[in-house]
Protein backbone atom coordinates (compact mmCIF):
# COMPACT_ATOMS: atom_id res chain seq x y z
CA UNK A 1 0.00 0.00 0.00
CA UNK A 2 2.73 2.46 0.96
CA UNK A 3 4.66 1.90 -2.24
CA UNK A 4 1.55 2.80 -4.20
CA UNK A 5 1.49 6.13 -2.41
CA UNK A 6 5.09 7.09 -3.07
CA UNK A 7 8.07 5.37 -4.59
CA UNK A 8 10.41 8.31 -4.71
CA UNK A 9 9.86 12.01 -4.17
CA UNK A 10 11.87 15.13 -3.62
CA UNK A 11 10.83 17.03 -0.53
CA UNK A 12 9.05 20.24 -1.44
CA UNK A 13 9.36 23.29 0.76
CA UNK A 14 5.85 23.10 2.12
CA UNK A 15 4.40 22.33 5.51
CA UNK A 16 7.00 21.47 8.13
CA UNK A 17 9.68 20.45 5.65
CA UNK A 18 11.84 23.64 5.95
CA UNK A 19 11.90 23.25 9.73
CA UNK A 20 12.68 19.55 9.48
CA UNK A 21 15.41 20.17 6.91
CA UNK A 22 17.00 22.80 9.16
CA UNK A 23 17.14 20.26 11.98
CA UNK A 24 18.63 17.59 9.75
CA UNK A 25 21.27 20.03 8.52
CA UNK A 26 22.15 20.98 12.10
CA UNK A 27 22.56 17.30 12.93
CA UNK A 28 25.00 16.93 10.04
CA UNK A 29 27.00 20.06 10.88
CA UNK A 30 27.25 19.06 14.55
CA UNK A 31 28.48 15.60 13.58
CA UNK A 32 25.52 13.77 15.04
CA UNK A 33 25.52 11.47 12.03
CA UNK A 34 28.63 10.53 10.05
CA UNK A 35 28.53 11.69 6.46
CA UNK A 36 29.28 9.25 3.69
CA UNK A 37 30.56 10.05 0.23
CA UNK A 38 28.07 9.61 -2.57
CA UNK A 39 29.91 8.66 -5.71
CA UNK A 40 28.97 8.54 -9.35
CA UNK A 41 30.59 5.96 -11.58
CA UNK A 42 31.26 6.81 -15.20
CA UNK A 43 32.83 4.79 -17.95
CA UNK A 44 35.19 6.22 -20.54
CA UNK A 45 36.32 4.48 -23.68
CA UNK A 46 40.01 3.73 -23.65
CA UNK A 47 41.49 5.04 -26.88
CA UNK A 48 44.46 2.70 -26.59
CA UNK A 49 42.32 -0.40 -26.82
CA UNK A 50 38.82 -0.78 -28.15
CA UNK A 51 37.99 -3.48 -25.60
CA UNK A 52 38.72 -1.83 -22.26
CA UNK A 53 36.83 0.93 -20.46
CA UNK A 54 38.26 3.35 -17.93
CA UNK A 55 36.12 3.45 -14.80
CA UNK A 56 36.01 6.81 -13.05
CA UNK A 57 34.44 7.36 -9.63
CA UNK A 58 33.61 10.94 -8.70
CA UNK A 59 32.29 12.15 -5.35
CA UNK A 60 29.23 14.24 -6.19
CA UNK A 61 27.82 14.72 -2.70
CA UNK A 62 27.95 13.72 0.94
CA UNK A 63 25.10 12.85 3.23
CA UNK A 64 23.45 10.52 5.65
CA UNK A 65 20.23 8.55 5.93
CA UNK A 66 17.61 8.21 8.64
CA UNK A 67 14.36 6.28 8.82
CA UNK A 68 11.09 7.53 10.22
CA UNK A 69 7.62 6.20 10.82
CA UNK A 70 4.85 7.92 8.86
CA UNK A 71 1.11 7.77 9.45
CA UNK A 72 -1.74 9.20 7.40
CA UNK A 73 -4.84 9.78 9.47
CA UNK A 74 -8.08 10.29 7.55
CA UNK A 75 -11.45 9.45 9.04
CA UNK A 76 -12.66 8.35 5.63
CA UNK A 77 -9.84 5.85 5.15
CA UNK A 78 -8.18 3.08 7.13
CA UNK A 79 -5.04 4.11 9.00
CA UNK A 80 -2.07 4.12 6.66
CA UNK A 81 1.44 3.79 8.05
CA UNK A 82 4.82 2.91 6.67
CA UNK A 83 8.55 3.42 7.10
CA UNK A 84 10.29 6.07 5.03
CA UNK A 85 13.93 6.58 4.25
CA UNK A 86 15.01 10.20 4.48
CA UNK A 87 18.19 11.03 2.59
CA UNK A 88 19.86 14.30 3.65
CA UNK A 89 22.36 15.19 0.96
CA UNK A 90 24.87 18.02 0.46
CA UNK A 91 26.05 18.90 -3.03
CA UNK A 92 29.10 21.20 -3.30
CA UNK A 93 28.08 22.11 -6.84
CA UNK A 94 24.62 23.19 -5.73
CA UNK A 95 26.08 25.05 -2.75
CA UNK A 96 28.39 27.03 -5.05
CA UNK A 97 25.49 27.93 -7.34
CA UNK A 98 23.36 29.07 -4.42
CA UNK A 99 26.23 31.08 -2.93
CA UNK A 100 26.84 32.87 -6.22
CA UNK A 101 23.12 33.46 -6.64
CA UNK A 102 22.80 35.02 -3.20
CA UNK A 103 25.81 37.28 -3.72
CA UNK A 104 24.34 38.48 -7.01
CA UNK A 105 20.97 39.21 -5.39
CA UNK A 106 22.64 41.03 -2.49
CA UNK A 107 24.68 43.16 -4.89
CA UNK A 108 21.65 44.04 -7.02
CA UNK A 109 19.56 44.86 -3.97
CA UNK A 110 22.31 47.11 -2.60
CA UNK A 111 22.49 48.99 -5.90
CA UNK A 112 18.72 49.43 -6.02
CA UNK A 113 18.56 50.67 -2.43
CA UNK A 114 21.27 53.27 -3.01
CA UNK A 115 19.49 54.41 -6.17
CA UNK A 116 16.30 55.14 -4.20
CA UNK A 117 17.66 58.46 -2.96
CA UNK A 118 19.82 60.05 -5.66
CA UNK A 119 21.68 63.27 -5.02
CA UNK A 120 19.80 66.46 -5.81
CA UNK A 121 19.78 67.31 -9.46
CA UNK A 122 17.58 68.13 -12.38
CA UNK A 123 15.16 65.30 -13.03
CA UNK A 124 16.21 63.44 -9.86
CA UNK A 125 13.08 62.50 -7.97
CA UNK A 126 13.48 62.86 -4.23
CA UNK A 127 11.73 60.97 -1.42
CA UNK A 128 10.29 63.32 1.19
CA UNK A 129 8.21 60.83 3.13
CA UNK A 130 9.81 58.33 5.49
CA UNK A 131 7.00 55.80 5.12
CA UNK A 132 7.40 55.86 1.35
CA UNK A 133 11.14 55.23 1.75
CA UNK A 134 10.52 52.19 3.95
CA UNK A 135 7.85 50.85 1.58
CA UNK A 136 10.12 51.11 -1.45
CA UNK A 137 13.07 49.60 0.43
CA UNK A 138 10.94 46.70 1.66
CA UNK A 139 9.74 46.03 -1.89
CA UNK A 140 13.35 45.83 -3.09
CA UNK A 141 14.54 43.34 -0.46
CA UNK A 142 11.47 41.20 -1.15
CA UNK A 143 12.07 41.34 -4.89
CA UNK A 144 15.61 40.02 -4.46
CA UNK A 145 14.71 37.63 -1.61
CA UNK A 146 17.20 39.12 0.85
CA UNK A 147 14.85 39.87 3.74
CA UNK A 148 16.79 40.20 6.97
CA UNK A 149 20.13 40.20 5.15
CA UNK A 150 20.42 43.92 4.42
CA UNK A 151 19.72 47.11 6.34
CA UNK A 152 20.51 50.75 5.69
CA UNK A 153 21.36 54.00 7.43
CA UNK A 154 19.58 57.15 6.33
CA UNK A 155 19.40 60.79 7.27
CA UNK A 156 16.70 63.42 7.05
CA UNK A 157 17.86 66.56 5.27
CA UNK A 158 15.89 69.77 5.79
CA UNK A 159 16.25 73.01 3.88
CA UNK A 160 14.47 76.29 4.50
CA UNK A 161 13.81 78.74 1.68
CA UNK A 162 12.67 82.33 2.15
CA UNK A 163 10.94 84.18 -0.67
CA UNK A 164 9.33 87.61 -0.74
CA UNK A 165 5.68 87.86 -1.70
CA UNK A 166 4.53 90.49 -4.16
CA UNK A 167 6.41 93.42 -5.68
CA UNK A 168 8.32 96.28 -4.21
CA UNK A 169 11.21 96.66 -1.88
CA UNK A 170 12.08 93.44 0.02
CA UNK A 171 11.95 95.26 3.33
CA UNK A 172 8.30 96.14 2.80
CA UNK A 173 7.11 92.77 1.52
CA UNK A 174 6.05 89.77 3.59
CA UNK A 175 8.18 86.66 3.56
CA UNK A 176 7.11 83.15 2.67
CA UNK A 177 9.11 80.44 4.37
CA UNK A 178 9.15 77.02 2.72
CA UNK A 179 10.58 73.98 4.47
CA UNK A 180 11.66 71.07 2.29
CA UNK A 181 12.51 67.60 3.55
CA UNK A 182 14.29 64.81 1.73
CA UNK A 183 15.62 61.46 2.91
CA UNK A 184 19.02 60.19 1.90
CA UNK A 185 20.26 56.61 2.26
CA UNK A 186 23.85 56.85 3.46
CA UNK A 187 25.00 53.23 3.52
CA UNK A 188 23.60 49.77 2.93
CA UNK A 189 24.79 47.26 5.52
CA UNK A 190 25.16 43.51 5.08
CA UNK A 191 24.00 41.42 8.02
CA UNK A 192 26.91 38.99 7.88
CA UNK A 193 25.59 36.85 10.74
CA UNK A 194 22.26 36.29 8.99
CA UNK A 195 24.01 35.74 5.66
CA UNK A 196 26.27 33.09 7.19
CA UNK A 197 23.24 31.40 8.73
CA UNK A 198 21.52 31.30 5.34
CA UNK A 199 24.65 29.96 3.64
CA UNK A 200 24.77 27.09 6.11
CA UNK A 201 21.81 25.51 4.33
CA UNK A 202 23.28 25.92 0.84
CA UNK A 203 23.71 22.70 -1.08
CA UNK A 204 21.50 20.66 1.24
CA UNK A 205 18.44 18.78 0.04
CA UNK A 206 16.23 16.13 1.54
CA UNK A 207 14.89 13.19 -0.42
CA UNK A 208 12.30 10.71 0.77
CA UNK A 209 11.55 7.20 -0.38
CA UNK A 210 9.89 4.10 0.96
CA UNK A 211 11.72 1.91 -1.52
CA UNK A 212 14.22 -0.44 0.16
CA UNK A 213 17.93 0.02 -0.45
CA UNK A 214 17.94 -3.07 -2.64
CA UNK A 215 15.58 -1.28 -5.03
CA UNK A 216 16.86 2.28 -4.70
CA UNK A 217 20.34 3.13 -3.49
CA UNK A 218 21.33 6.54 -2.20
CA UNK A 219 23.35 7.12 -5.37
CA UNK A 220 20.34 6.26 -7.53
CA UNK A 221 18.07 8.55 -5.53
CA UNK A 222 20.45 11.50 -5.77
CA UNK A 223 21.10 10.95 -9.47
CA UNK A 224 17.43 10.65 -10.36
**Which residues in 122-174 belong to E strands, given as ranges?**
150-164
User: What is the full per-residue pLDDT of the chain (224 aa) written as tens digits?
Assistant: 333 334 334 443 334 566 788 888 888 888 888 888 888 777 766 666 655 566 677 888 898 988 888 777 777 878 878 788 888 889 999 999 999 999 999 999 999 999 999 887 777 788 899 999 999 999 999 999 999 999 999 999 888 777 767 676 666 667 777 778 899 999 999 999 999 999 988 998 888 887 787 777 777 777 65
Residue among 206, 3, 174, 218 at smallest CA distance from 88: 206
What are the Cα distances from residue 101, in Å, to 91, 96, 142, 184? 15, 8, 15, 28
What are the Cα distances from residue 219, in Å, to 64, 66, 69, 223? 12, 15, 23, 6
Helix, strand or coil for residue 112?
helix
d(CA 109, CA 127) in angstroms, rounded, equals 18
CA-based R_g, the chain, Å: 30
First-to-last alpha carbon distance for the chain, in angstroms, is: 23
d(CA 180, CA 165) in angstroms, rounded, equals 18
Amino acid sequence: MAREITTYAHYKRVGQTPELLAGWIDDAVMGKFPLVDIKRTSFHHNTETSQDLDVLETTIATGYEVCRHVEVVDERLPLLCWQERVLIVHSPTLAKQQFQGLEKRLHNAQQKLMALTPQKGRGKRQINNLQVLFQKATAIVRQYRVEGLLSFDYECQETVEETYIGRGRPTSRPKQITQKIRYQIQTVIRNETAIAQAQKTFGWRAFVSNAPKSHLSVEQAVSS
